[in-house]
Each structure stands twice: as structure tokens, then as C-alpha cells.
Amino acid sequence: MPYPAKTSPEAILETALELLEQEGQANLSMRNLAQQLDLKAPSLYRYYADKKALEVAMVGYATDLLRQQIESGIEGLVPRKALKKAAEIYLEFTRAHPNLYALTMNASRFPYHPSGTGKALWNVLLAVVGRVTKNPDDTAATVALWAFLHGFANLEHSGMFGPSGPKGGFEVGLSALLEGFKTRAT
């Protein structure tokens, strides 16, 4: 008869995030998570209906955090600088939380849900790009930037660049896209 409760939805979420980053997605099991919280696995189901519900919460946290970091990081910058800064923050985020980012983007398992935190993040990127291309709803250009950022982060995290590394590929690609987007504005 433990009072008060030994845990909470927030504590579970926090611990899950830590466990994900430290042990990787493959080791994020309800058993391991419970162990970290000095609990047994069945107790977790009082707070999250199933594992997917917990993952949805984790993805929501991730997209919200990234959006916040970008929004505050680009404040007061002119369009071009803002886009570059947003790209850098995005990449830094994928480096700081590689497994959380992978979970977030591996979300083909979650049904598309337009009114989520992912939509808010998308809108921030859309606005940043729009200020450069002079088109506030430039889906195509935003998709292009997103693809580049995501691809670079993913290849880097997967170790696909090998021991020699990307050799300035990020800066070159970002500059080229910016150049192309400027042309697009005229």
C-alpha cells in the first residue's frame, strides 16, 4: 500500500527519454524502463495504455523541444541568417538526441496526424524558408531543405560517411540550397 504513488506519467516519460538516449531504441523495453524507475513493468500500464502511447508522448516532446530551440535561436535574424541558424540548430538537435530524433522520424508507425506538434515544427520551417523565397507557403523549398537536413543527420548518425567524415558537405549543401532559394525569390 504505497502512498503516494512511486511514479507519475511525467517521471516515466523523462526516464524513457534518458533510457532511449543511453541505451538505444532496441533496449527501450517496458521491462528496462520499469527497472530504471524501481518498478515492475505492469505498473507502467497504469499511466500509459501501451508502449505506443508512451512513444507518442516522446515524439511530441521531441518535436516541441526542437521547435522551441529553433524559434528562440533565430529571433531577430535577417532571413538568410535565420535559415542558416535554423539548419544548424536542427543538426545540433539530431546530434544531441540521435535516438530520440530517429524515433521521431521513424514515425511511419504512427498514423499521420495533422494537428500535432509535428505540424507546429513544420510551420516554423515553412516560415523560415518563406522569408527567404518571398513565398510564405513555399512547400517545395521547405521540403527540399528538410530532406537535406534529415538526410545529412541520418547518414551521419548511421556512420555512412566513414572515417573521413562529411568533409564540409553540410556547409556546401546548405549554401547551395540558400543560393537556389534566393534565385527562387526573384
**Using the rule CB under 7 A, is 10 a contact of DNA?**
no
Whether the bond between 4 and the residue before it is cis, its omega within 30 degrees of 0, is yes
Residue 169's binding partner among DNA, a copy of itself, none (Cβ under 5 to 8 angstroms by kind) is a copy of itself
- Pick the stretch among 43-51, 59-67, 80-88, 103-111 that binds a copy of itself (CB under 8 A): 103-111
140 binds, among DNA, a copy of itself, none (CB under 5 to 8 A by kind): a copy of itself
According to CB under 8 A, which one of 36, 56, 157, 185 is a site residue for a copy of itself? 157
Cα separation, 102 vs 153, whole angstroms: 10
User: CB–CB of 8/47 below 8 Å?
Assistant: yes
Reading the block at residue 7, the C-alpha cell is: 511514479
| Residue 43 vs 135, nearer CB to DNA | 43
Q: How far is the CB of 162 from a copy of itself (least distance, A)?
A: 5
- Integer-rounded Cα Rg, in Å, for the chain is 19
Residue 141: is it exposed, middle or buried by C-beta count within 10 angstroms (0-12/13-18/19+)? buried
- Which residues lie near a copy of itself (CB under 8 A)? 105-108, 112, 114, 139-152, 154-155, 157-164, 166-173, 175-177, 179-181, 183-184
